[in-house]
């Protein structure tokens, strides 16, 4: 079963989300968090740091795991376990690199919860908790 590591970047009461490119095989054109697959021999924490660097050009410095979800649409995207981390400190300024995402934006809790095109609606369960901890 594949595993992924995803980052909820939290700063000043806002969450950073990225719109997935329309050509992506999973959750195309949806708002998502940065992250990706755990490679063989890699821990989820190592994958988190690598993916943040590859997708946003930043290095997570302070983070903690805040949840693990099973893939909500296994019939469409295959079985997976998604590991989620709250990232509260990082080096660098997040910016889009590569072609995985087409937009990067900071959202308030209300704005993030109101998004109809979230990759995983269960993200809403974590939003308030993440912001309360920041």
Higher pLDDT, 98 or 50: 50
Q: Which of 88, 133, 102 is nearest to 20 (CA)?
A: 102
Query: How does residue 130 score in pLDDT terms, banded at 50, 70 and 90?
Result: confident
CATH, domain 2-133, list 3.90.79.10, 3.30.360.10, 3.40.630.30, 3.30.1330.60? 3.90.79.10
> If we measure between CA atoms, which residue out of 45, 18, 115 comes closest to residue 124?
115
Give pLDDT tens digits for 72-129: 999 998 999 999 999 999 999 999 998 889 999 999 989 999 999 999 988 998 887 8
Please tell me the pTM assigned to this model. 0.91
Residues with Cβ within 8 Å of residue 48, at least 6 apart in sequence = 5, 6, 7, 35, 60, 63, 83, 85, 87
Which tokens go with 60? 């997570």
């Amino acid at each position: 079963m594949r595993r992924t590591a995803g980052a909820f970047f939290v700063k000043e009461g806002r969450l950073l989300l990225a719109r997935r490119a329309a050509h992506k095989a999973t959750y195309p054109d949806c708002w998502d968090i940065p992250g990706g697959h755990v490679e063989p021999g890699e821990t989820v924490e190592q994958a988190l740091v690598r993916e943040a660097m590859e997708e946003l050009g930043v290095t997570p410095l302070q983070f903690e795991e805040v949840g693990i979800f099973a893939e909500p649409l296994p019939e469409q995207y295959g079985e997976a376990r998604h590991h989620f981390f709250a990232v509260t400190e990082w080096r660098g300024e997040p910016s889009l690199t590569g072609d995985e995402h087409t937009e990067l934006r900071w959202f308030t809790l209300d704005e993030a919860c109101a998004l109809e095109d979230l990759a995983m609606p269960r993200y809403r369960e974590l939003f308030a908790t993440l912001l309360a901890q920041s």
